[in-house]
Amino acid sequence: MAQPVRYLLVGASHAALSALQAIRMHDPDGSLTMITRDDALPYSPTVLPYVVSGRSQPARVALKDESWLASQRVELRRGRTVTAVDTTDCSVRLDDGSVLGWEKLLLATGADPIVPQVPGLAGVKFHVLRRLTDAVALRDAVAGTREAIVLGAGLIGMHAAENLVKAGVGVTIVEMQPRVLAGYFDAEASALIETTFTDAGVCLRLGRRAAAVAAAGERIQVRLDDDSELVADLLLVATGVTPVLDYLAGSGIATDRGVLVDDCMRTSAAGVWAAGDVAQARDFYAADPGARIINGILPDAVEQGRVAGQSMAGDPGLRPYEGGVPLNTYTYFDQQAVSVGRQDCGATVRSEAGAGRYLRIVMDADRLTGIFGINSPFDPGVMWEIIQRRIDLGPVRAAFLADPQRAARGVMSRTWR
Amino acid sequence: MPAYNTIAFRPELCNGCGDCMRTCAEVKTGSADSANARIQISADGDTLALALCRQCGDPKCVANCPAAALDKRLADGVIAWDGSKCVNCLLCTVGCAYGGIVYNAAAQHVVKCDTCAGDPACVRVCSTGALRYLTTARIYNEVGDLEDLFAPGLSGCQGCNTELVMRHALRRIGPDTVLATPPGCIPGMGSVGYNGQTGTKVPVFHPLLTNTASMLTGIRRQYRRLGRKVHAVALAGDGGAADVGFQSLSGAAERGEEILFICVDNEGYMNTGMQRSSCTPFGAWTSTTPVGERGRGKTQHAKNLPVIMMMHNCEYVATASTGFMEDLYAKLDRALAASERGFAYLHIYSPCTTGWRFPSQDNIEVARKAVESDFVLLWEFTPAAGLQLTRDVSHPVSISEYLRVLGKFRHLDDAEVHEIEAAVERNRQFITGLAQGQHPAMARLAADRADDTGARS
């Protein structure tokens, strides 16, 4: 085995890039290799719905280019998959059989789509949307499509459905929850979003599961659990994602649903860190500091990556991870939905809906725990900071409820300006 | 990474007129609807909150962007938004804790400040000075490329402001310099060197406290005779300038010798054990104005040496502070140019961590507070233009805010603080009067200058 690299980052999206930048802030010279299973330069899974819609060109979505990577002295190995990790002799095995040694290892392998156990699904051609190649394939398939079925009303499914209907395709969304975006918004907000989608001609089949899938000539037939039948030219499976963990079998690295990490993003194995969608880390809201969640969102991947990178480089400026806060932004049909924090960790102190607008504020005593809006102006980043700092809003409570954006900016100016 | 210019906001000067927002909206969108401005100043109770892109050094909005539509430009530090790449996902707004990038309904995408390519419209229309465009970064970028002409590892106290002054000044003045450093902190920390080697990379000598300006006069004249152009520069303390060295300083100024005399005023003889000088302010503890059962610190007010130097009507006189480096550099440049024609005097207020008794990391903050409280004033004088204030003195922070940071004033009672406040106010009125040309002294200087010109022609 050749000389081990000082830093080996497996994965090349937000968590790994954030770690890389944090490492380089402290250690400009340590050898660093980044491995990605994709042939493309680093990109974000979040941009993929826009590749499908044609808004983003695949050639222009790279988060970092070759010259930047060279300037950071990064060796990027593209199109390679790690198949095994050995924490005893500190090495990984790649899919080409080669072995690469490391001193410090970051697991930032993200997540893959969950393909539900539906009879017949494996036998038909269906789409998923997680990698750039998926997005290009889906984009190219839209051209000849008249009707499409989307399994799952999460962010990926909803984004794809919007793109399809805007391209003139008849779309049916099948979702086993009784409402869309259940993991992101409450019932009222979901209802507003559903109205927009049905007004645009999208057919929503909520509270339904696919019971069976079969090929019907060139088309695909989906039977639902109420025995109704749908037929379409295109099937997109968007029923969620799960961390990529298969390569960790036998490594001894502790996993649950994801890779378990402490507040410095260290795994159970010495010299191994994990961050992003693959990591299962502290829950900001849990009373038990040992509680671990997968908070698979982009801003948190950036945050976890930074913590991991600082910890890997031994940066004394490291501020440990404070726990995951759900943060989602969702733009659909030119409307803006934003959710910061959780709805179930306090009492709703303001809630209003109507005329395409929605705002809900949830507080635990005088501390903000969540704020959710559709077409409601407030600064999500300022709210995140207020939640994370557990700022006592008692003195400004009335003003905050009346005009959260203005009051929060006041808090900002007095606290961290 | 270079340093960058930035828009700074002083809420205490803001009157909420809204001109900045209207102008920004006008410039960026063609309509004066403030809602579309990239800068938002809003009142929340007594707080004026500024929602504006801080152009962060390690921007989270950029890290959060899935479409590579945001980029921190290395050239000017601006975080640039590329509309052709933006996918309107709003994740950047989650990363910003300053309300600096927000969704704009009219534009139907996020908008943010781009500093108007280095000439921000909001700053141009701000009539109160609440918004300023700080270009100090330029100095650090430029000076960083100049050679430090002092040896590394000078033995100054931790956090010494004078070392900063020396290194900055000499870097700027350059290698064609003969330097005089009379007894004081500057040779004390090593400018004249040890064991036969100098502490500078330019010729340096160590005159007596009494004859600095005279020796420098001779050296300058000799080089001129040889046809060599060199800068003759003195770096002296306030004792070496205002007390013991004053006779030769005054003589050289009166004769118009082509010298740049820099007085680094730390308000005492700090090098030899913190004795009082004529520049030590009223009430200050020093080792010769102790505080105890009877003593209450110095019983006289400080001599205003730069005003005295101005009354010599020499080529250039200015005061400066390391809390305001851009101003200091501008004055250093003008002083250097003036020293080609005649006598130039630069008085730099220089807080002393050891002698003034404050934590070593607070030096620049103390220097800033001294100016912001009007305890010292920043101005410059040329015979043609008279005295000009170079920083607004009309909105000072309270003197006690300055005094309480300093151990040498810790014993002061209310009456003594009041005495200092009164002296500061007198000085402010005196200098403001000079700046407005109302003081008879200004008229006399102008008349002298006219006579002088007449006599020569």
User: Looking at residue B139, what is its pLDDT?
Assistant: 82
For the domain covering A5-112+242-313, report its CATH number. 3.50.50.60
Give me the residue from B45, B68, B98 closest to A410, CB to CB: B45
Q: Is this complex scored with an ipTM above 0.85?
A: yes
Contact B98 A336 (CB under 8 A): no
Give me the residue from A55, A410, A416 closest to B47, CB to CB: A410
Contact B44 A338 (CB under 8 A): no
Contact B49 A413 (CB under 8 A): yes
Instruction: For A140-186, write each residue's pLDDT tens digit.
Output: 999 889 999 999 999 999 999 999 999 999 999 999 999 999 988 88
Report how far residue A55's alpha carbon sits from residue A47's, in angstroms, rounded to the nearest whole number.
10
**Residue with token string 């801080």:** B54
Asked if the model's pLDDT at residue A94 lies above 90, the reply is: yes
Give me the residue from B43, B85, B90 closest to A60, CB to CB: B85
DSSP B87-147: ----HHHHH-TTS-EEEETTTTEEEE--GGGGS-HHHHH-SSSSEEEE-THHHHHHHHTSP
Q: How many CB atoms lie within 10 A of CB A399?
A: 17
Chain B hits for A298, Cβ within 8 Å: 64, 66, 91
Contact A56 B85 (CB under 8 A): yes
Among the ranges given (A56-65, A346-355, B168-177), the one the predictor scored with the smallest mean pLDDT: A346-355
Instruction: For A386-404, write each residue's pLDDT tens digit.
Output: 999 999 999 999 999 999 9
Q: Chain B closest CA to A385's CA: distance in Å?
A: 6
Report how far residue B392's alpha carbon sits from residue B129's, in angstroms, rounded to the nearest whole number.
9
User: Looking at residue B457, what is its pLDDT?
Assistant: 45
pLDDT per residue of chain B (457 residues) written in tens, 0 to 9: 688 999 999 998 899 999 999 999 999 999 889 999 999 999 988 889 999 999 999 999 999 999 999 999 999 999 999 999 999 999 999 999 999 999 999 999 999 999 999 999 999 999 999 999 998 888 888 888 899 999 988 889 999 999 999 999 999 999 999 999 999 999 999 998 888 889 999 999 999 999 999 999 999 999 999 999 999 999 999 999 999 999 999 999 999 999 999 999 999 999 999 999 999 999 999 999 999 999 999 999 999 999 999 999 999 999 999 999 989 999 999 999 999 999 999 999 999 999 999 999 999 999 999 999 999 999 999 999 999 999 989 889 999 989 999 999 999 999 999 999 999 999 999 999 999 887 777 777 777 767 665 554 4
**Residue with token string 């924490």:** A87
Band (A1; pLDDT cuts 50, 70, 90): low
Contact A47 B93 (CB under 8 A): no
Report how far residue B349's alpha carbon sits from residue B266's, in angstroms, rounded to the nearest whole number.
6
Partner residues linked to B232 by β-bridges: B178
Q: Chain A closest CA to B74's CA: distance in Å?
A: 12
Share of chain A above pLDDT 70, in %: 100
Contact with chain A for residue B74, Cβ under 8 A: no
Distance of CA B404 to CAs B358, B362, B417, Å?
Answer: 10, 13, 10
Contact B94 A61 (CB under 8 A): no
Which two structure tokens, joined as six digits, stand for B184?
């004081």
Query: Which backbone phi and psi does A355 adopt, to 5 degrees?
Result: 50, 45
CATH for A115-239, options being 3.40.20.10, 3.50.50.60, 3.40.50.300, 3.40.50.1400? 3.50.50.60
Quickly name the fold that domain A334-415 has. Answer: Enolase-like; domain 1 (3.30.390)
**Which of the pair, B447 or A248, is modelled with greater confidence?**
A248
Chain A hits for B94, Cβ within 8 Å: 299, 327, 329, 340, 380-381, 384
Residues A10-30, mean pLDDT to the nearest whole number: 97
Contact B99 A380 (CB under 8 A): no
Chain B hits for A25, Cβ within 8 Å: 58
Give me the residue from B50, B64, B87 closest to A56, CB to CB: B87
CA A219 to chain centre: 31
Chain A hits for B66, Cβ within 8 Å: 14, 43-47, 63, 298
In which residue ranges of chain A is CATH 3.50.50.60 found?
A: 5-112+242-313, 115-239
The helix or strand, by DSSP H or E, that contains position B365, with its residue range, turns out to be helix B363-372
Domains of chain B: 6-135 (3.30.70.20), 147-456 (3.40.50.970)
Contact B50 A384 (CB under 8 A): no
